[in-house]
């Protein structure tokens, strides 16, 4: 029998694994950065579920607010074409 907390944990964990797989398989690099941000936010959800609020909020602060922005900057500064031509 699965209680409510376990059910929530399973849902969050499933979302996290799914987004982590999508980070690797995404065709566009921007999407990979977006999935990475989502994966890290769900990780903060797991921390919150385990009653460690401070770690969870710091996780959102740093790994969802700051790190993906730096990644996106990095992607845009490389030689990959960030924009596409109109077909």
Residues making contact with another protein (CB under 8 A): 4, 28, 30-31, 34, 37, 53-54, 57-58, 60-61, 64-66, 68-69, 72-73, 76, 82-87
Question: Smaller CB distance to another protein: residue 14 or 66?
Answer: 66
3 state DSSP class of 50? coil
Min dist. Cβ of residue 77 to another protein (A):
10
Min dist. Cβ of residue 58 to another protein (A):
8
CA-CA distance, 31 to 37, in Å (whole number)?
Answer: 10
Min dist. Cβ of residue 87 to another protein (A):
7
Sign of CA dihedral 9, 10, 15, 21: positive
- 68 HSE (CA, 13 A, CB side): 20
Give the chain's length: 87
Question: Smaller CB distance to another protein: residue 7 or 31?
Answer: 31
């Amino acid at each position: 029998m699965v209680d409510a907390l376990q059910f929530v944990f399973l849902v969050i964990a499933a979302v996290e694994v799914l987004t982590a797989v999508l980070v690797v398989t995404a065709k566009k690099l921007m999407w990979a950065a977006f999935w990475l941000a989502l994966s890290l936010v769900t990780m903060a959800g797991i921390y919150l579920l385990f009653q460690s609020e401070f770690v969870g909020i710091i996780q959102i602060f740093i790994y969802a607010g700051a790190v993906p922005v730096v990644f996106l900057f990095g992607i845009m500064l490389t030689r990959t074409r960030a924009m596409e031509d109109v077909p």
